[in-house]
Amino acid sequence: MSNELASMDECLKWGELAKKAAFVPQAMTPQQAAIIVEYGREMGIPPIQALKMMSFIQGKLCMEVQMQLALARKVGVTIKSVESTATFCKVTLIRGSEEVSTEYTIEQAKNAGLVREGSTWIKHPTDMLWARACGRGLKRIASDAVLGLLSPDEAEEIAFSEPISNAKPYVEMPKEKVIIAEITEPEKPIEPKAKEKISYTDEDVANLFKAIQASVNTDELSKIWKENLPLIKVVPAEIKKQLTECKDIQKQNLTSILKAEA
């Protein structure tokens, strides 16, 4: 147990360092970065490499296909052939006597809502088609190596296609932890009323980050922000800055989704 606690403490330090160094996306919390470091450690991936190749999208842990392929190569997977154009890609993988061929087309990407103005699918369609086709094959032939991890592109597709009814619900902060009122005794009218104090925990802050990232439209995002203003006003300046950045990024993402659907 002591070794596990020491390991998690080290991961948290990595998470805080990565956040301060701006090595991870602005919306990522130190706790999320720590989870990535720990997950990478369990898979034999160094911390810096794990933070570079893994991320969280809508609460889902993701790994770049290039990293998935590197892990698969360690268990004997090789690429037999690749057929690729700007609209189609077919990848054939081999592992011992097993052979798997998977493909992906630009039409499938369009139907999934991935081909949007300014997206990587517009700028680098060949690379994206290869990543999709290869990622599919790796899940089939090397599931023990990639452990079902999604690529960032796959996670975004799920996020865009997820109906509002399945979206993560807003998590209310525990009321017993939020407000502590100091009541002035009536026999001392000359003394000013004690100011209301607000206490919070790391869990409260983490829940707010999750609620922001789980919002499904700008109205819900504004409501979440307004309802949590008492907490936002009392957290340290650095956390308040991170919350604001997270809200701004989510607002941009939701606006982009709305434009794409229009």
3-state secondary structure the chain: CHHHHHHHHHHHHHHHHHHHCCCCCCCCCHHHHHHHHHHHHHCCCCHHHHHHHEEEECCEEEECHHHHHHHHHHCCEEEEEEEECCCEEEEEEEECCEEEEEEEEHHHHHHCCCCCCCCHHHHCHHHHHHHHHHHHHHHHHCHHHHCCCECHHHHHHHHHHCCHHHCCCCCCCCHHHCEECCCCCCCCCCCCCCCCEECCCHHHHHHHHHHHHHCCCHHHHHHHHHHCHHHHHHCCHHHHHHHHHHHHHHHHHHHHHHHHHC
**139 belongs to a structural domain:** yes
Give 211 or 90, the one with higher predicted confidence.
90
pLDDT band at residue 167, thresholds of 50, 70 and 90? very low
- Pair (15, 81) in one structural domain: no
Give residue-wise pLDDT tens across range 76-85.
Answer: 999 999 999 9
39 and 123 co-located in one domain: no
Give the pLDDT band (50/70/90) at residue 169: very low
Q: Looking at the structure, do residues 151 and 228 belong to the same domain, yes or no?
A: no
Q: Report whether pLDDT(23) > 60.
A: yes
Q: Are residues 27 and 46 in the same domain?
A: yes
User: Tell me: the pLDDT tens digits for 219-262?
Assistant: 888 899 999 888 888 888 888 888 888 888 878 777 776 676 66
**Is 77 in the same domain as 157?**
yes
Do 50 and 88 have their domain in common? Answer: no
Q: Which among 48, 22, 18 is positioned nearest to 32, based on CA atoms?
A: 18
Q: Domain for residue 2, yes or no?
A: no
The answer to whether residue 126 is domain-embedded is yes
Average pLDDT across the chain, whole number:
81
Domain count, the chain: 3
Query: Final residue of a domain: which of 101, 131, 161?
Result: 161
Is residue 185's pLDDT more than 70? no
Same domain, 214 and 139: no
**Do both 75 and 128 map to the same domain?**
yes
Last-in-domain residue among 161, 178, 209: 161
> Is 172 within 8 Å of 228 (Cβ atoms)?
no
> What is the domain range of residue 248?
167-261
48 plus 71 within the same structural domain: no
Do 174 and 252 sit in the same domain of this protein? yes
